[in-house]
Structure 1
């Protein structure tokens, strides 16, 4: 791990390099001196949902000859992502798009880019208010809205009463905090609903299986499992099926992934909330290009709304994913 002193000198070296590059007329003209160059610092390429966001950015790149996107994989390592952003700064990109590995670690990246006068767009994972104030734009969906929509539908299915288990994502992530907060807001309004279990399955299907197995073994009566994402919800479904308890338990997820839609079609997953990765990817790259061209944004917060998915409207989202995959 870097010491504060080492980090300080790394930033100094980056900014000195940037100064040298600007003296050569490269800053603001893209690293190839022709057209707009966008640096895209992504957390991990091996993520199914995020892959659609990446595809949308890359598709924009293919369709616009005057735009070049340099996309890099931090492999879920915040220090590696910082180094990648530093490299973008040295290269003199015209704007930087970041989906942070960890929102609590994104501020040094933003500070370094801003000192080099490079606009920054954060997409999908919202940092805290202090960092938001420094950004040129944030593109994403309001996580608390997703949690509220999800639990409101569960409330209807439970008719306002029952024991709920909340399966949370990676602790400390903005989506984990806000989606759970939205869930709890709805439960508080219903005195006959009670959260009896809450634990993290780190957004992973295998962890969802493990956590659900533990809850089943505890003997706690659970009427609904509400998960921060679809992968954990699918994990919970697997464990509930193996224990013969799925028919008595409502399961809800968030994201509206293609896998989740199959479970909704079969009736095993009752609820998901669509978070549009293509909409977020398109919004991020379009916003970054506008900033690179010196355009003033009407609003630095670019929202892509969540949409409730149930068995009644699932075919609409199946078709949407088919279009995305064409």
Structure 2
């Protein structure tokens, strides 16, 4: 949907005044201290600021942030909600209004409309359907309320001030690269893939990244099935996969929650000739990796901190602060989080922040 002239003007003004805001606000809200007026030159800005003083964690003007996400019917989504609420609770100057999680796009639209009517200062939104929530997000932006889009992108850039994403393509690349490192000298290795919901762009991106990485070492996916991000779906399609493939060298499962079912099917079939790489980074999977007593050898992180990052960015925007760790000082339009591989060698670095399936 094209943006209205009002919104275009607002975005233009925002960009045009960014430098002025940076100069005006850096002294009190960046990660550096303001110049010392007692230095020679009568407080000239040419003196180097002292690092480490002040910062965006310092209390500021009270702001109200609305948060809406899908129903927490999945371990990762539950962790998303929990982390967002916990992050808001860190700040005495933030009031968080949380809508009940829903998988009904129409209900979520009404929740956002309520936030607009209440004139909240910012909205953090993980849409149940990015395209369906685009129009109401634009409506919020046109009302002067910055929208922070989390995980599932809107269909218009005018619908959000900031978009915080995991890296689905990067997850596939990380998983494929790890398997290449383990099997790259075996051109006849049998690689299997257990995807999520094939109709979702995120699943398609994960598969593309996986195929691209495998191609780099001469491997390809020999057997592929798609589940539905549920335990039951994971178990069902894995049973089919194992029957169809009498020999497998490696499996990448896109999602650790559905991986509970995947592992159940593997145990039932009494198969252990392969190693497995998971996806998302659940605590249950990390414990299996740490134990060394499972086919589960690694998992690829898909951060459950995305909404928490959204809360932090919403507060910075609503209070007119700047990001002192960036030279420009302005909040980026898009933030994409990294997808590292967790193995037995580094699991202790990640397990403390992992979510429970």
Any conservation in 2 of the 1:264–1:270 contact (CA below 8 Å)? yes
How do 1:49-88 and structure 2 match up within 5 A?
49-88=76-115
TM-score, normalised to structure 2, is 0.73
Is the counterpart of residue 145 in structure 1 residue 170 in structure 2? yes
Name the structure, 1 or 2, with higher relative contact order (CA <8 Å, separation 6+).
2
Structure 2 Cα separation of the partners of residues 174 and 100 of structure 1: 14
**3-state SS, counterpart of residue 277 of structure 1:** coil
* Cα distance change on mapping 1:169 and 1:104 into 2, 3 Å: farther
Of structures 1 and 2, the larger Rg is shown by 2
Structure 1: gaps spanning 5 or more residues: 1-33
Structure 2 residue aligned with 1:101: 128
Q: How far apart are residue 133 of structure 1 and its match?
A: 5.1
Size of the aligned set, in residue pairs, is 285
Structure 1 residue aligned with 2:140: 113
Which of 251, 262, 280 aligns to 1:225? It is 251
Structure 1 Cα separation of the partners of residues 198 and 139 of structure 2: 26
* Cα distance change on mapping 1:95 and 1:141 into 2, 3 Å: same
Structure 1 Cα separation of the partners of residues 158 and 142 of structure 2: 15
Structure 1 residue aligned with 2:283: 258
* Cα distance change on mapping 1:198 and 1:104 into 2, 3 Å: farther
Encode CA deviations 1:256-309: one digit per residue, 9 max, x unaligned. Answer: 11111122123321110123323x233111111122223463411123322210
Q: How far apart are residue 145 of structure 1 and its match?
A: 1.2
Structure 2: gaps spanning 5 or more residues: 1-60, 323-329
- Report the structure, 1 or 2, having the larger helix content: 1
TM-score, normalised to structure 1, is 0.80
Structure 1 Cα separation of the partners of residues 250 and 184 of structure 2: 12
Which of 289, 293, 315 aligns to 2:348? It is 315
Alignment root-mean-square deviation, CA: 2.3
Structure 2 Cα separation of the partners of residues 124 and 242 of structure 1: 34
Any conservation in 2 of the 1:164–1:195 contact (CA below 8 Å)? yes
Structure 2 residue aligned with 1:283: 309
Any conservation in 2 of the 1:102–1:173 contact (CA below 8 Å)? no
Structure 1 Cα separation of the partners of residues 217 and 89 of structure 2: 50
Structure 2 Cα separation of the partners of residues 145 and 133 of structure 1: 25
How do 1:1-326 and structure 2 match up within 5 A?
35-127=62-154, 130-132=155-157, 134-160=159-185, 161=187, 162-191=189-218, 193-219=219-245, 221-245=247-271, 247-267=272-292, 268=294, 269-278=296-305, 280-295=306-321, 297-321=330-354
Any conservation in 1 of the 2:225–2:241 contact (CA below 8 Å)? no
